[in-house]
Chain A
Amino acid sequence: MSAPLLSIRDLSVSYTTRTGPVPAVRGVDLDVAPGEVVALVGESGSGKSTTAHAVVGLLPRGGRVDGGEIRFGAHDLATAGDRELRAVRGARIGLVPQDPTVSLNPTKRIGAQVAEVLRVHGLAGRREAAARVVELLERAGLSDPAVRARQYPHELSGGMRQRVLIAIAIAAGPELLIADEPTSALDVTVQRRILDHLDTLTRELGTAVLLVTHDLGVAADRAQRIAVMSGGRIVEVGPTEQVLSDPRDPYTRRLLAAAPSLAVARRSPAAVAPALREADPLVEVEGLGKDYPLPRGSGPRVLHAVRDVSFTVERGRTLALVGESGSGKSTTARMVLRLTEPTTGRIRFDGEDVTAARGADLRRLRRRAQLVYQNPYASLDPRFSIEEVVTEPLRAFGIGDRASRAARARELLDRVSLPATVLGRQPAELSGGQRQRVAIARALALSPELVVCDEPVSALDVSVQAQVLELLAELQEDTGVSYLFISHDLAVVRQVAHTVVVMRGGEVVESGTTEALFTSPTHDYTRELLAAIPGATAPTAGGTR
Chain B
Amino acid sequence: MGGSATGRYVLRRLAQAVVVLWAAYTVSFLVLDALPGDPVTAMASAGMDSGAVDQEQLDQLRAEYGYDDPMLVRYLDHLGSAATGDLGDSVATGRPVVDTIAQALPPTLQLAGAALALAVLLGGGLALVATYSRRRWLRQVLLSLPGLGVSVPTFWVGLVLVQVLSFQLRLFPAFGNSGPSSLVLPAVTLAIPTGALVAQVLAKSLLTALDEPYVQTARAKGAGRARVHLSHALRNASLPALTVVGLLAGQLLANSVVVETVFSRDGLGRVTAGAVGSQDLPLVQGVVVLGALVFVLVNLAVDLVYPLLDRRIVVAGGRRSLA
Interface bits A223-256 vs B (CB < 8 Å: 1, else 0): 0000000000000000000000000000000000
Assess A152 versus B311: contact at CB under 8 Å? Given A99-B213, A105-B236, A107-B235: yes
The contact of A106 among B211, B214, B223, by CB within 8 Å, is B214
Bound complex: CA A99 to CA B212 (Å): 11
The contact of B220 among A61, A94, A105, A121, by CB within 8 Å, is A94
B213 shortest CB reach to chain A, Å: 4
The contact of B221 among A98, A106, A108, A120, by CB within 8 Å, is A120
Assess A86 versus B224: contact at CB under 8 Å? Given A61-B211, A97-B217: yes
Instruction: Let me know if B236 and A103 touch, CB within 8 A.
Output: no
A445 at interface by CB-CB < 8 Å: no
The contact of B312 among A61, A90, A106, A121, by CB within 8 Å, is A106
Q: Which residues of A contact B235 (CB under 8 A)?
A: 105, 107-108
Bound complex: CA A113 to CA B227 (Å): 12
A87 at interface by CB-CB < 8 Å: yes
Instruction: Let me know if A97 and B219 touch, CB within 8 A.
Output: no
Instruction: Let me know if A121 and B214 touch, CB within 8 A.
Output: no
Instruction: Let me know if B311 and A168 touch, CB within 8 A.
Output: no
Assess A58 versus B223: contact at CB under 8 Å? Given A102-B212, A107-B311: no
The contact of A95 among B220, B224, B225, B236, by CB within 8 Å, is B220
B211 shortest CB reach to chain A, Å: 7
Q: Which residues of B contact A91 (CB under 8 A)?
A: 222
A56 at interface by CB-CB < 8 Å: yes
B147 at interface by CB-CB < 8 Å: no
Bound complex: CA A168 to CA B220 (Å): 10
Interface bits B179-216 vs A (CB < 8 Å: 1, else 0): 00000000000000000000000000000000111101
Interface size class of A (residues with CB under 8 A): 20 to 34
What secondary structure prevails in chain A residues at the interface with B? loop
Q: Which residues of B contact A165 (CB under 8 A)?
A: 217
Q: Which residues of A contact B169 (CB under 8 A)?
A: none
The contact of B219 among A58, A87, A98, A295, by CB within 8 Å, is A58
Bound complex: CA A97 to CA B317 (Å): 34
Bound complex: CA A102 to CA B224 (Å): 20
A270 at interface by CB-CB < 8 Å: no
B323 at interface by CB-CB < 8 Å: yes
Instruction: Let me know if A89 and B218 touch, CB within 8 A.
Output: no
The contact of B213 among A97, A113, A120, A152, by CB within 8 Å, is A97
Assess A90 versus B221: contact at CB under 8 Å? Given A98-B213, A105-B214, A106-B214: yes
B309 at interface by CB-CB < 8 Å: yes
Assess A105 versus B232: contact at CB under 8 Å? Given A152-B311, A295-B317: yes
Please give me the residue from chain A that is nearest to B227 by CB atom. Answer: A120
B140 shortest CB reach to chain A, Å: 16
How many A-B contacts at CB < 8 Å in the complex?
79
In A129-178, the 8 Å CB interface with B consists of: 152, 154, 165, 168-169
B310 at interface by CB-CB < 8 Å: yes
Q: Which residues of B contact A259 (CB under 8 A)?
A: none
A104 at interface by CB-CB < 8 Å: yes
Assess A154 versus B311: contact at CB under 8 Å? Given A91-B222, A102-B214, A105-B232: yes
Bound complex: CA A104 to CA B222 (Å): 15
Instruction: Let me know if B310 and A106 touch, CB within 8 A.
Output: yes
B44 shortest CB reach to chain A, Å: 60
B100 shortest CB reach to chain A, Å: 45
Please give me the residue from chain A that is nearest to B222 by CB atom. Answer: A90
B42 shortest CB reach to chain A, Å: 54
The contact of A168 among B211, B217, B227, B309, by CB within 8 Å, is B217
Instruction: Let me know if B222 and A105 touch, CB within 8 A.
Output: no
Bound complex: CA A87 to CA B223 (Å): 9
Assess A89 versus B219: contact at CB under 8 Å? Given A98-B213, A105-B232: yes
Instruction: Let me know if A89 and B213 touch, CB within 8 A.
Output: no
Instruction: Let me know if A103 and B216 touch, CB within 8 A.
Output: yes
Interface bits B223-238 vs A (CB < 8 Å: 1, else 0): 1110100001001100
Instruction: Let me know if A90 and B232 touch, CB within 8 A.
Output: no
Instruction: Let me know if B217 and A103 touch, CB within 8 A.
Output: yes
The contact of A107 among B213, B220, B222, B236, by CB within 8 Å, is B236
Q: Which residues of B contact A105 (CB under 8 A)?
A: 214, 217-218, 232, 235-236
The contact of B216 among A58, A116, A120, A169, by CB within 8 Å, is A58
Bound complex: CA A88 to CA B222 (Å): 7
Instruction: Let me know if B212 and A89 touch, CB within 8 A.
Output: no
Q: Which residues of A contact B227 (CB under 8 A)?
A: 120
A117 at interface by CB-CB < 8 Å: yes
Q: Which residues of A contact B219 (CB under 8 A)?
A: 58, 89
Bound complex: CA A91 to CA B223 (Å): 11
Instruction: Let me know if B222 and A154 touch, CB within 8 A.
Output: no
Bound complex: CA A152 to CA B220 (Å): 20
Bound complex: CA A89 to CA B222 (Å): 5
Instruction: Let me know if A103 and B211 touch, CB within 8 A.
Output: no
Q: Which residues of B contact A295 (CB under 8 A)?
A: 317
Assess A116 versus B213: contact at CB under 8 Å? Given A107-B235, A107-B310, A107-B311: no
B249 shortest CB reach to chain A, Å: 24
A225 shortest CB reach to chain B, Å: 24
Q: Which residues of B contact A98 (CB under 8 A)?
A: 213
Contacts A/B (CB < 8 Å), 9 sampled? A58-B220, A86-B224, A91-B222, A97-B217, A105-B236, A107-B311, A121-B222, A152-B312, A169-B220
Besides A102-B214, A103-B216, A105-B214, 18 new A-B residue pairs in contact (Cβ under 8 A), listed by A number: A86-B223, A89-B219, A89-B222, A95-B217, A97-B213, A104-B214, A105-B218, A105-B232, A106-B236, A106-B311, A106-B312, A107-B309, A107-B311, A108-B235, A116-B221, A120-B223, A154-B312, A154-B323
Closest 4 CB pairs of A and B: A90-B222, A95-B220, A90-B221, A89-B222
